[in-house]
Amino acid sequence: MTTDTGRRRPAVGVDADDFYHFESLLPDSELAVLHRVHDYMTTEVQPLLLEYWSKARFPFQIVPGFAQLGIAGLPYQIADRPGGSFLLDGMIAMELARTDPSIATFHGVHSGLAMGSIALCGSPEQRERYLPRMARLEAIGSFGLTEPDVGSGAAGGLTTTARREGDEWVLDGRKKWIGNAPIGDLTMVWARDVGDGQVKGFVVANDSPGFIVEKQEHKFALRIVQNGLITLNGVRVAEADRLQRANTFADTAEVLRMTRAGVAWMAVGCARGAYENALRYACEREQFGRPIGSFQLVQDLLVRMLGNVTSAWGMCARLSQLQDLGIAADRHSSLAKAFCTVRMRETVGWARELMGGNGILLEGLHRLLLGDDVRRCVERNLASDLCGRRARERSHASLERRCHPRDLGFDTVGIHRPDCASSARPRGPEPRDPLHATTTSCDATTAPP
Ligand SMILES: Cc1cc2nc3c(=O)[nH]c(=O)nc-3n(C[C@H](O)[C@H](O)[C@H](O)COP(=O)(O)OP(=O)(O)OC[C@H]3O[C@@H](n4cnc5c(N)ncnc54)[C@H](O)[C@@H]3O)c2cc1C
């Protein structure tokens, strides 16, 4: 869409918090895909999440609709598929995480790590054999790298072995934390070749004899993601299913490199969900006779949150543009991942703070009361789920009806405007609490720091 001056008009409407109009970087065709993802997440996925999060189960009913979105393996060349840019792929990861980080992880493991392994390390024949099926989600993929005793040190420490016997390989070992494995069909297993000592990749069907998956229970974060502890007991894999272009761990690292940007994008989505939720809460929650969002200290939190979301989003957008230009290097995605995840934790922590006691309440099902000793973990993991979930609980429509920020004299950032007294709904008496007396004035500054 363009203006009379021929300039692209910023996309507005879906994202009140797309403060710098990053979505307008996408061409209209890709913007339409992003908005379809948003609509699908809001209408079809969001209503299921409380129940499935609570039960730590995966909502299989979303798979057909997810497949129709056509977003699995978007940046890879797949026959009969339009594909899309890395920028769109990143914004989709953000959009999914904005509603639910677990669903974003499901997608990231399947589309990024599993399909990405085949796209980068598979032969043309292997790409043709697997990718179209996986793009349609007829086969759900996993990525089996880490082990019970080997996480960060996977590059040099893998203990799972691959032994060649004629036209077959025999795999033995264990893999831990493997996302989607308990519900999936195919796992990319990375194992050390006992012949040359190098790490190689294999496409393994999850129903192969000797392939045993136990679901990892009792997680208090990313509960909808189904993580598996895999035992490989002499699993036989045809040479035709060895990823033909994965000859050393450097090739495995290529896959991790490509998907690292997605992790940064997901962090932006978590932060965004937390911010949106906090903003809505600030408008709805009343203390001392007025919405808490009318207090400057609360506005300060909102401004900081939006600053984090916007800076992280900008960094990721540029990173994806570099990917699309083919000039993104490891260091670019590493910086984005490091920066965006820290900013996300900070943002989610502030959202928790703003929401008071309700910040740890999983409404409608059960309460999770968490002590200070786990607060750090919570901010890192669970709280992003909780805040995202609370954001979902308040629909845009209900928010518009009850308390739009503009009606309170805020712009969408939550900055207090000078005219807020006239535009705010009728209020009770002025707060008496001296602690808040200085924060309730309507002549507050209008500009973020
Ligand atoms: C929800 C979830 C989903 C996952 N999905 C998958 C998946 O689909 N496939 C897969 O293969 N794996 C998956 N993983 C595993 C994930 O990749 C590992 O958790 C990660 O690599 C870290 O390994 P670790 O947990 O064993 O931690 P460790 O490696 O034991 O590290 C523990 C701590 O030590 C720090 N540390 C380690 N080494 C250093 C160092 N040299 N310098 C400074 N600090 C260091 C780490 O940063 C961390 O804080 C998943 C994990 C989770 C939690």
Query: pLDDT tens-digit profile of 281-308?
Result: 999 999 999 999 999 999 999 999 999 9
Domain(s) of CATH 2.40.110.10: residues in the chain: 141-250
For the CA of 144, the closest atom of ligand 1 is 11
Atom 18 in ligand 1: residue holding the nearest Cα: 151
- What beta strand segments (E) does 182-277 contain? 186-193, 199-205, 211-215, 227-238
At how many degrees (to 10) do helices 396-403 and 249-284 cross? 30
Domain(s) of CATH 1.10.540.10: residues in the chain: 22-135
Supply the pLDDT for residue 16: 56
- What beta strand segments (E) does 56-124 contain? none
Atom 51 in ligand 1: residue holding the nearest Cα: 177
Cβ < 6 Å from ligand 1: which residues?
Answer: 109, 143-146, 151-152, 177-179, 222, 225, 227
* CATH C-level class of 141-250: mainly beta
Rounded to the nearest angstrom, the distance between the alpha carbon of 156 and the centre of ligand 1 is 14
* Cβ atoms of residues 310 and 302 within 8 Å: no
d(CA 86, CA 24): 15
Atom 1 in ligand 1: residue holding the nearest Cα: 222
State the residue for tokens 């934790």. 345
Length of the chain, please?
A: 449
Supply the pLDDT for residue 365: 32
d(CA 306, CA 298): 13
Residue type, 409: G
Rounded to the nearest angstrom, the distance between the alpha carbon of 117 and the centre of ligand 1 is 19
Residue type, 416: H
Q: How far is CA 46 from CA 102, 103, 319, in A?
A: 12, 10, 29
In the DSSP assignment, the letter for residue 6 is S
Domain(s) of CATH 1.20.140.10: residues in the chain: 252-437
Mutate which of 103, 150, 152 for ligand 1 pocket (most atoms within 8 A of beta carbon): 152
The CA radius of gyration of the chain, in Å to the nearest whole number, is 24
Rounded to the nearest angstrom, the distance between the alpha carbon of 152 and the centre of ligand 1 is 5
Q: How far is CA 8 from CA 4, 26, 27, 193, in A?
A: 9, 10, 9, 53
d(CA 32, CA 204): 35
d(CA 234, CA 232): 6
Atom 40 in ligand 1: residue holding the nearest Cα: 152
Mutate which of 106, 109, 177 for ligand 1 pocket (most atoms within 8 A of beta carbon): 177
- At residue 377, the 3 state secondary structure works out as helix
Supply the pLDDT for residue 413: 33
Supply the pLDDT for residue 77: 86
Domain covering 22-135, topology? Butyryl-Coa Dehydrogenase, subunit A; domain 1 (1.10.540)
Q: State which residues of the chain have pLDDT below 50.
A: 1-15, 364-449
d(CA 235, CA 207): 10
Strands 141-144 and 186-193: parallel
At the second CATH level, the architecture of 252-437 is Up-down Bundle (1.20)
Supply the pLDDT for residue 361: 73
| Residue 192 β-bridge partners | 161, 199
Atom 9 in ligand 1: residue holding the nearest Cα: 178
